[in-house]
Chains A and B, each alone.
Chain A
Amino acid sequence: MSEYYTSADHFVLLPAIMLALFGCAILLFEFLIGAGAKQRRWLVVLGLAGLAFTGRALWMQQAALNAGAQLSAFKGALLVDGFSLLFNWIFLFTSAIVLLISYKYLEIENENHGEYYGLVLLAQCGMFFLACGNDLVTIFIGLELMALGFYIMVGFLRNERRSNEAAMKYLLLGAFSSGFLAFGFSLLYGLSGSTNLRDIAVAISQRGAGDPLTFLALATTSVGLFFKISAAPFHMWAPDAYEGAPTTVTAYLSVGSKAASFALLLRVFLGPFGDLRAMWQPLLIAVALLSLLVGNLAAISQTNVKRLLAYSGVSHAGYMMLGLVAGNQTGLQGVAVYILVYTFMNLGALLVIVAMRRENILGEDIDDLAGLMHHHPVYAIFMLVFLLSLAGIPPTAGFLGKYYIFLALIETGHYILAVVAALYVAVAVYYYFRIVRSMFSREEAPAGVGIPLAGSLGVRVALAVTGALTLIIGIYPEPFLRFAGESLMK
C-alpha cells in the first residue's frame, strides 16, 4: 500500500477486483480444463463463487456505511454511498440469476463456451464503476467495459444470423452514443478544468444558465445517456438487440445495462447538471412522454415476446424518467423502487422465455405460449404474476413502482403528466394480456407441446426467487421501501 493505493482505496475497489479476478480466472480455467461439457459446469460454480466474494465485499462496505463511514477512493474518483450500493446489489442479483439460467440455454444453442461466464462478470465490473464512478474518466471506462462485454454477448450465437445482426446494430449505435457521451464529457472537462463530478458541478453553477458551452455539453451528454437507457427517440437498437440476442443475454441487457445506465443518468443529472434543472426538465418531460407513446404503441403490434418486452422496456424507461422529472424525495425514491422491482419482474418474464427454448423450438412468439396454462401451469402462473407486475396491477411489485412515480408527480403539481402516464397503463394492460390470453387459450396447441420445457435446476431456482420477490414486495413493501429510501438519503 502506497500513497497512490491506500488501504481505503483497496476497500472501495474490492468488489471490482473480485469481479475482474474471477472473470479472468474463468477465461484461464476454461483453457486449462478443456472443452468437455462436464467440466464446464465448474465455470458456473467459479462464477458464482466470484459473485459470493463480491457480495461479501459489498456487505462489508454496507456495514461500514451503516456505521457512518465516508467511503471514497482515489481522491474522489470512486464514491461508495447508499445510492451506488443499492445499484451494486441489483447488479449482483442480476448476474447471479444470469449465471444460473445460462448453462442449459447455451447447451441447447450449442454455443456453450467459457468466455460467456467471464464476460458476465467483466460486464458487471463495468457496471460497478458506473454506479460508483464520480470521475469522468472512471465513468467512461466503466461504460465501455460494460458495453464491450454486452456487444460480444449479444452476438454470442455466432452461427445465427439474427444474433450477428443484433450485435452489429447494437455495436454501431452503442459506439455512436458512446462517442456523443464522450464528446459531452470532453466539454464538461473543458468548462471546469477537472474530471471530478463535484468540481464540474461547482464550475457549472458559477457559469450560470444560458452559457453556450454548458448547453452543448448538456445536449450531447443527454443524447448519449438517452441512447443507453433506450429512451425514445433513441431506442431503435433495443428491439433488435433484445430479439436477436440469446434470451439469457436479453435478460441481462434489459435489466443490468438499463439499471447501470440509469445510475449514471441520475448521477450526472443530479450532480453536475443539478443547477440546470430549468434547462433539462422540459427536455426530460418531452423524452419521457415520447418514450411512453412509442414504447406502448409499438408494443401493441408485436408478435415476438422479447421484442414486446423491449418496447415495454422503453415505456418503463419513460416512467422512471418521470420520477426524475418530479425530482422530490418521493420521486427519487420512486425511481429507486421502480428500478428494483423492474429488475425482478423483467428478469422473471424473460426467464419463462428462456425455459421455452427447447430442442428446435425458439419459443419466443406469443403463439408459442399458447395453452401453456394447460400443459405447464406453474410456468404460466409465474408468467402471469410477472406480466401483472409489469402492467402495474396490485398486489404485485410493479404497482408500487408506478404508485410512487404518480404520487411524486401529483405532489410536485404535474397533474397532466400523472394523468397521461396513468392512461398508458391501460394500453400496457392490453398488450401484456395478449400474452396472458394466449397462455390460457385452449384452441390450437402449437407444435412441440409434448416436448418438456427446458427448466433446469438453475431456471427453477431463479424463477422461484424472482417470482417470490415480485409478490413479496407487492404485498409487504415496507423493508424494501426503507432500503431504497435510506439508500438515496445517504
Chain B
Amino acid sequence: MQIGTGHYLVLSTALLLIGTLGVLTRRNIVIILMSIELILNAVNLNLIAFSRHYGHVTGQIFAIFVITAAVAEAAVGLGILIALFRNKGTVLADEIDLLKW
C-alpha cells in the first residue's frame, strides 16, 4: 500500500485529538505541557507531509519555526511551573485554585 498525504493527515488529526484530550483531562501540568507539544507535532507532521506533496521546502521551513516556538514555549512554561512549585508545592492543575470566579 502506498502511504500518501491523506494518511499523514489522518495521523496528524488523531495526534491533535489525543493532545486535546490530554490537555482537557490530565491533572499534572507537566503532562499538559507534553500534550501541547503533541498538538504542535501534529502541526509539524502536517507541514512536512504537505511539503512533500507539493515538492517544495516551504512547509519544512515553517516546521522549523514551529519547533523553535514550541521549544521557547516549553522553556517559559517550565520556568513558570518551577516558580509556581516553589510557592505552592504542587504541579497538579486542580490544586491551583486561588483564582476562581
A298 touches B101 (CB 8 A): yes
Partner of A190, one of B46, B61, B84, B99: B46
Nearest residue, chain A, Cβ from B54: A193
B65 touches A159 (CB 8 A): no
A178 touches B50 (CB 8 A): no
A307 touches B98 (CB 8 A): no
0/1 interface trace, chain B 73-101, chain A, CB 8 Å (1 if under): 10011001101100110000100101101
A158 within 8 A of B: yes
Nearest residue, chain B, Cβ from A151: B76
Known: A165-B99, A176-B39, A179-B19. A140 touches B69 (CB 8 A): yes
Q: How far is the CA of A397 from the CA of B64 in the complex (A)?
A: 45
B32 touches A172 (CB 8 A): yes
Residue of A160, A165, A171, A180 ringed by the most chain B CB atoms within 10 A: A171
Q: How far is the CA of A400 from the CA of B95 in the complex (A)?
A: 44
Known: A166-B99, A169-B96. A161 touches B87 (CB 8 A): yes
- Can you sample 25 A-B contacts with CB below 8 Å? A137-B61, A137-B62, A140-B65, A141-B65, A148-B73, A151-B77, A155-B80, A161-B84, A162-B98, A164-B80, A164-B83, A164-B88, A165-B98, A165-B99, A168-B29, A168-B80, A171-B73, A171-B80, A176-B23, A178-B73, A183-B43, A186-B47, A193-B56, A194-B58, A240-B99
Q: How far is the CA of A159 from the CA of B84 in the complex (A)?
A: 9
Partner of B36, one of A147, A164, A168, A172: A172
Binding site for B on A (CB under 8 A): 136-137, 140-141, 144, 147-148, 151-152, 155, 158-162, 164-169, 171-172, 175-176, 178-180, 182-183, 185-187, 189-190, 193-195, 216, 220, 239-240, 243-244, 298, 301-302, 307
Binding site for A on B (CB under 8 A): 5, 9, 12-13, 16, 19-20, 23, 29, 32-33, 36, 39-40, 42-43, 46-47, 49-50, 53-54, 56, 58-59, 61-62, 65-66, 69, 72-73, 76-77, 80-81, 83-84, 87-88, 93, 96, 98-99, 101
Q: How far is the CA of A323 from the CA of B74 in the complex (A)?
A: 36
- Please indicate the chain A residues that have their CB under 8 angstroms from the CB of B87 in the complex: 159-161, 164
- Please indicate the chain A residues that have their CB under 8 angstroms from the CB of B59 in the complex: 186, 189
Known: A144-B73, A162-B98, A298-B101. A151 touches B80 (CB 8 A): yes
B46 touches A187 (CB 8 A): yes
Please give the distance in Å from B59's CB to the nearest CB on chain A. Answer: 6
Residue of A140, A162, A183, A243 ringed by the most chain B CB atoms within 10 A: A183
Please give the distance in Å from A304's CB to the nearest CB on chain B. Answer: 10
B50 touches A190 (CB 8 A): yes
- Please indicate the chain B residues that have their CB under 8 angstroms from the CB of A167 in the complex: 80, 83-84
Q: How far is the CA of A302 from the CA of B101 in the complex (A)?
A: 8
- Please indicate the chain A residues that have their CB under 8 angstroms from the CB of B88 in the complex: 161, 164-165
B62 touches A158 (CB 8 A): no
- Please indicate the chain B residues that have their CB under 8 angstroms from the CB of A183 in the complex: 12, 16, 39, 42-43, 46
- Please indicate the chain A residues that have their CB under 8 angstroms from the CB of B53 in the complex: 190
- Please indicate the chain A residues that have their CB under 8 angstroms from the CB of B12 in the complex: 183, 186
A140 touches B66 (CB 8 A): yes
Q: How far is the CA of A137 from the CA of B51 in the complex (A)?
A: 14
B62 touches A195 (CB 8 A): yes
A169 touches B99 (CB 8 A): yes
Please give the distance in Å from A86's CB to the nearest CB on chain B. Answer: 27
- Please indicate the chain A residues that have their CB under 8 angstroms from the CB of B93 in the complex: 172
Please give the distance in Å from B39's CB to the nearest CB on chain A. Answer: 4
- Please indicate the chain A residues that have their CB under 8 angstroms from the CB of B101 in the complex: 239, 298, 301-302, 307
Nearest residue, chain B, Cβ from A179: B39
A243 touches B46 (CB 8 A): no
Residue of A158, A164, A195 ringed by the most chain B CB atoms within 10 A: A164
Q: How far is the CA of A155 from the CA of B76 in the complex (A)?
A: 10
B62 touches A136 (CB 8 A): yes
- Please indicate the chain B residues that have their CB under 8 angstroms from the CB of A168 in the complex: 29, 77, 80-81, 84, 96
- Please indicate the chain A residues that have their CB under 8 angstroms from the CB of B66 in the complex: 140, 182
Known: A140-B65, A243-B99. A171 touches B84 (CB 8 A): no
- Please indicate the chain A residues that have their CB under 8 angstroms from the CB of B99 in the complex: 162, 165-166, 169, 239-240, 243-244
9 pairs of A and B residues whose beta carbons are closest in the complex: A179-B39, A186-B46, A190-B50, A144-B69, A164-B84, A240-B99, A182-B43, A193-B54, A167-B80
A148 touches B98 (CB 8 A): no
- Please indicate the chain A residues that have their CB under 8 angstroms from the CB of B69 in the complex: 140-141, 144, 178
A179 touches B96 (CB 8 A): no
- Please indicate the chain A residues that have their CB under 8 angstroms from the CB of B20 in the complex: 176
- Please indicate the chain A residues that have their CB under 8 angstroms from the CB of B32 in the complex: 172
Please give the distance in Å from B44's CB to the nearest CB on chain A. Answer: 8
Q: How far is the CA of A40 from the CA of B88 in the complex (A)?
A: 31
- Please indicate the chain B residues that have their CB under 8 angstroms from the CB of A165 in the complex: 84, 88, 96, 98-99
Please give the distance in Å from A164's CB to the nearest CB on chain B. Answer: 4
Please give the distance in Å from A147's CB to the nearest CB on chain B. Answer: 8
